[in-house]
Amino acid sequence: MQLLDGKKVSEDIKNEIAAEVKKMKDNGEKVPHLAAVIVGNDGASLTYVASKVKSCERVGFESTLIKLPSTISETELLKKIEELNQDDNIDGFIVQLPLPEQIDDQKVLMAIDPSKDVDGFHPENFGKMALDMTTFIPATPFGILELLERYNVQTAGKHTVVIGRSHIVGRPMSILMGRKGFPGNSTVTLTHSHTKNISQITTQADIIITALGVPNYLKAEMVKDDAVIIDVGITRVPDETNEKGYKITGDVDFANVSKKASYITPVPGGVGPMTIAMLLKNTLLAREQRALRGQ
């Protein structure tokens, strides 16, 4: 069994990006600038956004954090997004989800300029991804592809089972694993809450990508020997033995499944760090594309 070490690979990617940014600086070019919009005071979101800002500093990007009150109206938020769309200094930006209930997430994502949508959530970017065109791939699926590629995990002709059909992970992953090229060319089954006899499907899988958010959902008896296991789940489970009062747990019963797997991602330290690294990669791509357009 080999660990797919997202922590290590994400550091490699950040070093590569930092080297690119240094070249830009040395050539007197504008360096990438990422902005993050956060609405309200959700603890997990604040922590996550803070780590994104810290990662920007680490690779030499400029970054802007825009904190807005949870009481903000949809109209005001859309106005702020339009300002960011028009701001030539900003190459890419994200709006941290979830948003307060008075705001329609879909409306907000639709308002972001697709050329600055480094999260890859805009329908234009999602459509391009589905058609194998160059675009921003959502950061978590992009990170999974990168892990598979860097560990040279073979995907062609393999049976990939994706558990969960969210627009952020499950659905894009099912499209990407079936595309031509590497990683890809696998036969994909997308499972979800209405799937019957899920164990019959997972036990036939060469690769399982689970993004459910249900701690320890995938058990050893649901997995065949030498399967590749990608765990996107990340849930805080109460744990009094831990000083924080909780532990971070994935969708996979790691202790038992790891005994059967050929490759497996740990939680934490697997897919999570890759997500931030690929968001930075998308921002670098956004800057390069804007430079080509003379912006």
* Residue 235 dihedral angles phi and psi, to the nearest 5°: -130, 140
Q: Is 113 a catalytic residue?
A: no
Of the residues 96, 117, 253, 281, which is catalytic?
A: 96
How far is residue 178's CA from residue 215's CA, in Å, rounded to a whole number? 27
Residue bearing tokens 């430079």? 291
Of the residues 119, 206, 251, 253, which is catalytic?
A: 119
How far is residue 232's CA from residue 140's CA, in Å, rounded to a whole number? 8
Please answer whether residues 46 and 66 qualify as being in contact, where contact means their C-beta atoms are separated by less than 8 angstroms.
Answer: no
CB atoms within 10 A of CB 97: 15
For 262, which DSSP code?
A: S
**Is 166 one of the annotated binding-site residues?**
yes
How far is residue 93's CA from residue 35's CA, in Å, rounded to a whole number? 4
How far is residue 86's CA from residue 206's CA, in Å, rounded to a whole number? 46
Q: Is 52 a catalytic residue?
A: yes
Of the residues 14, 52, 158, 281, which is catalytic?
A: 52
**Is 164 one of the annotated binding-site residues?**
yes
**Is 193 one of the annotated binding-site residues?**
no
Please answer whether residues 140 and 270 qualify as being in contact, where contact means their C-beta atoms are separated by less than 8 angstroms.
Answer: no
Please answer whether residues 278 and 286 qualify as being in contact, where contact means their C-beta atoms are separated by less than 8 angstroms.
Answer: no
Which of 138, 116, 107, 149 is CA-nearest to residue 232? Answer: 138
Which of 198, 143, 136 is CA-nearest to residue 165? Answer: 198
**Is 150 one of the annotated binding-site residues?**
no
Cα distances (angstroms) measured from residue 21 to each of 17, 29, 82, 277, 280: 6, 9, 27, 14, 11
Which residues are catalytic, by number? 52, 96, 119
Q: Which residues are annotated as a binding site?
A: 164-166, 234
Q: Which residues are annotated as a binding site for NADP(+)?
A: 164-166, 234
